[in-house]
Structure 1
Amino acid sequence: MRRLFILISLMIFLPILHAEIYKWTDSEGNVHFSDKPHPGAEKIDLPPVQTFSPPPTPPPAETMVNPEVAAKTPDYEIAISQPENDATIRNNQGSVSVALEIQPRLNPGDKVQIVFDGTPIGEPQTATVFQLSDINRGAHTLAAQIVGSDGKVISTSETITIYMHRPRVGMVPGTRRTP
C-alpha cells in the first residue's frame, strides 16, 4: 500500500518538477512567472535544488566508556584519621570512633562503608564518622571503602590495626564470680 502511494505521488508531481519556467514583464512593469509560454517571455534555467545530506553516523563502539559515568567517578583518596594505626584503645564497653578523610567530596550516590576484620559492617552511608561498639578484646583490623551507587567498590583505604583492651570479669572489684 505504501509503495503504491509513493508511485502515484511520483506520477502526479513528476511533470511539475520538470516544468519549464517563463518570465515576462507586462506594460506596467510588473514581473510575472509562469509555466506556460507568453508572448515576449524568456525561458529561465533554474539552478539545481539545494539539498542537504547529513554526514554518516558512526556505528556505536562497544568499547566506549560512557563519558557521563566516567565523569562521575573521581579518583578518591580515603584515609582513616582516627584511630591511628597500632592504637591501643581502653574502653569498658568496647566502643571506638572511626573518623575518615575523603578527597574530593563524595559524589551523589557514592557512600562509605567500614570494613572490620575483613568484613563490611552495616550498610554504606554518607557519613564520615562511625561509632563501632561491643568490640571484643584483642587485635583488630579496620579499613574504609567507597562504594558507588551500583554497589561496586570504588576506592579502599589502607588497613590499620587497633588493639582493644577491655576489663574481664574478676579484674574490676566486685565483679568476681562466686563459685
Structure 2
Amino acid sequence: MLPCGELERPTAIQERRMNKALVILALGLSVSLTAGAQNIYRTTDAQGNVVFTDNPERGGEEVDLKPLTVVPGRSDERAGAPAMIDGGGNGNGGTASANPGQPFMPYDSFGILSPRQEETLPTGAAGNVQVTLGIQPDLREDHRVRLLVDGQVSQTAMHTDTFMLNNLARGEHVLQAELLDASGAVRHRTSPVTLYVQRASVNLPQNPNNPANN
C-alpha cells in the first residue's frame, strides 16, 4: 500500500494506453481546438487512469498538441489541359497556326521569292514579270495558289508556284499570293511585295500606243 495521497505509477501497458488515447483525442479534437483555441489538460484519477479534459479547474498538466499536417488531395493534372485543335483538313493532324503571318501546317514557308521587295521593272520589260513563290515542302496535290495584284485576283487558283504577269501599267503595284486548301478556303496569304514598273510614255512618237500615230 502506498501512503495516502500518493498515486501508483502507471505500468507500461497503461503508458501505451495513455499514448494511444492521447493520439485519438488529438485527432478527434484537432478541428475544434483550432477553431476555439482551447487547451487540453491531462490528469490521473485515484485508480491511475489518465483523464483528458478541457476544464482547467480540474487541474492537471497542460498537453501540448501539435497541429496536424493536412495534405490536399491531388487533382488530375490533365483535367484543365487544353484540347488539341485539329488542323482543319490538312490531312496530317497538325494544328492551324494561331500567329498571323505564319503558314499553316503542313507548310514551313510560303512567300514570294521574286520579284524582290521594292524591285523596279525596267522599261524594256514592257510591264511583263514572272512571279515565283517559295513553298516548302512542295505544294500538295489538293492545294492551289492564286495571285493578287493591288488586292485584286489577277489569276485564278492553280497548282503552281510560278505566275506570269503581262503588260502591267506604269507605277507602283503590290503583289500577294494566297494559298487555298482542298475546299477552296484561303488558309494563308504571303507578305505583300511592292513592285515599281517603268513604262515608256504613251506620248513618245515611237510608242505604238501613241494616239498621234493612229
TM-score by length of 1: 0.56
* 1:173 Cα deviation after fit: 3.8
Structure with the larger strand share:
1
* 1:68 Cα deviation after fit: 6.6
Q: Which has the higher contact order (CA 8 A, sep 6+)?
A: 1
More deviation, 65-74/126-135: 65-74
* 1:112 Cα deviation after fit: 0.9
Q: What are structure 1's unaligned runs of at least 5 residues?
A: 1-62
* 1:144 Cα deviation after fit: 1.1
Q: Structure 2 CA distance, aligned partners of 1:67 and 1:130?
A: 28
TM-score by length of 2: 0.48
Provide, for residues 99-133 of structure 1, a one-character-per-residue CA deviation record: whole Å limited to 9, x for no partner.
11101111221011111101122211111111001
Measured on the aligned residues, the alpha-carbon RMSD in Å equals 2.8
* 1:16-95 correspondence runs (5 A): 65=86, 69-71=90-92, 73-90=105-122, 91=124, 93-95=126-128
Give the fraction of aligned pairs with identical amino acids, expressed as a percent: 24
- Asked if 1:135 corresponds to 2:164, the answer is no
Q: Structure 2 CA distance, aligned partners of 1:106 and 1:174?
A: 41
Paired letter, 1:71: N
* 1:108-127 correspondence runs (5 A): 108-127=141-160
* 1:155 Cα deviation after fit: 1.6
Q: Number of residue pairs matched?
A: 117
Q: Which has the larger radius of gyration?
A: 2
Counterpart residue number, 1:145? 178
Name the SS of the counterpart of 2:200 in structure 1: coil
- Please tell me whether the aligned partners of residues 109 and 136 of structure 2 are also in contact (alpha carbons under 8 angstroms): yes
- Please tell me whether the aligned partners of residues 95 and 133 of structure 1 are also in contact (alpha carbons under 8 angstroms): yes
* 1:93 Cα deviation after fit: 3.0
**Where do 4+ consecutive residues of structure 1 move more than 3 Å?**
63-70, 172-176
* 1:152 Cα deviation after fit: 0.7
Name the SS of the counterpart of 1:71 in structure 2: coil
Counterpart residue number, 2:201? 168
Decide whether aligned partners of structure 1 residues 130 and 69 sit closer, same or farther in structure 2, where only a CA change above 3 A counts. closer
